Amino acid sequence: MPSPGPTPPLPPGEEAAEEYRSLDGYTATVDIDQSQDTDQRVRVWFDPDDGNSRAKILAPVSQAGNLYVANGSAIVQYNATSNEYIQVSTSGTDRFESSAQRVEAAVADARAGGNTTDGPPVGGAPLPVVPDAGEGTPESEGDSQGQFRVSYEGTQQIAGRTAHVLNYTAAGNRTQGILQQTLWLDTEHFVTLKLHQESRFGGNRSTYTYELSNVSFETDFGPDRFRFDPPPGATANRSESYDLTSFDSRDDLVAATDVPVPDPAVPGRYALVQADRIDGGTFDAVQLSYRATTSRLVVTKTSEQSYIDTSEGKPVAIGDRTGRFRSSGVSSIVVWECGEYIYVVAGDLPESSMVDVARSVACG
């Protein structure tokens, strides 16, 4: 139910984004409830000003102690069970600006009301990451394709704080993709305190909910909070560790790598937001990330043959190759092999659109 008392006004999207950008940091516990996967509880620490974050899995027991640490120079993923970690050296990345842009889009949509061709903003906080909205489905073509009805539902209390409630519902007769998403944005800092999403991909209907508790914006991060010190006996997985360099344009990436870079034909509303060169000890890869305000599409080309299973999923023709399409219930991929490389198109578009993007890449 809406909280009693005066409702804090929903500001313009630009002001909401600036409030998010000015945030010094916060800590919280995140409970993730997902019908298609294992539920999790995670403790998180964020320092957007310096691009730092840390996440420690508390539950389930099989994942307890696993860590994700990101700072200005590296990303580390530590597996407590195997006492092994992967380290990614990074340069040229900004992991938080896209979150501010999602906040701006969400608040602007809610203020405008009516329909939007942009999907739900999938949060507004960098973690957790949940599926973006697609462009509609074959069932909905010609009938509000890719649109959502957006409404502002006032405020509610979440985690002891007041939150703006934004609701997205698929318009028209769509029966695939994201069907409904509700966001609870902190009225002061515009961090997503809660998100609930209902989706259908193929025959799988799924729900995804995450909710913050024990939230504190009174942060005093010590100098070691975002440093990873390997536990005793921990070993580095050299074969999966790599150096990541990010560029603003595909041309810059082409000039910086010997790997032929794909030039996919993506839906018109998508724009390139990041081009990555990935240099591994035993492999090389390139990756192009596209965004349509709040929806994301990623094209990856890698020489790492163990990167992903290429044998499972629905067979689809990609040029003279046979690829595979599969959906996790909340997002989809098309994967295929060509020569020494594996190609992956990942996103949440309907199957036909995903396959069209893959075919435009072929063996390029």
pLDDT tens-digit profile of 276-302? 898 887 889 999 999 876 578 999 999
Residue 129 to residue 197: CA distance in whole angstroms: 12
- Identify the pLDDT of residue 137: 32
Of 127-141, 144-158, 332-346, highest mean pLDDT: 332-346
Is pLDDT above 60 for 82? yes
Answer yes or no: pTM beyond 0.85: no
Both tokens of 60, joined, read 């389930």
Put residue 221 in one of left, alpha, beta given phi > 0 → left and psi -120 to 50 → alpha. Answer: beta
Which residues does 200 contact at the CB level (< 8 Å), separation at least 6?
Answer: 175, 176, 177, 179, 206
* pLDDT for 193 beyond 60: yes
> Which residue type does 133 have?
A
- Average pLDDT in the chain: 83
- Contact between 169 and 180 (Cβ < 8 Å): yes
Binning pLDDT at 50, 70 and 90, where does residue 328 land? low
pLDDT at residue 237, as a whole number: 84
How high is the pLDDT of residue 68? 92
Q: Which residues contact 275 (CB under 8 A, 6 or more apart)?
A: 246, 247, 248, 249, 250, 252, 253, 261, 286, 287, 288, 289
SS (H, E, C) 127-138: CCCCCCCCCCCH
- The mean pLDDT of 214-230, rounded to a whole number, is 88
The SS3 of residue 97 is helix
Query: In the beta sheet, which residues pair with residue 288?
Result: 275, 299
Q: Is 197 a residue whose pLDDT tops 70?
A: yes
Least confident of 42-46, 89-93, 284-288, 305-309: 89-93
Regarding predicted confidence, which is higher, 227 or 36?
227
Residue-level pLDDT at 307:
78
Q: In this structure, are residues 176 and 160 in contact, taking their beta carbons and an 8 Å threshold?
A: no
Query: Is the pLDDT assigned to residue 177 strictly greater than 50?
Result: yes
| Reported confidence tier of residue 6, pLDDT bands at 50, 70, 90 | low
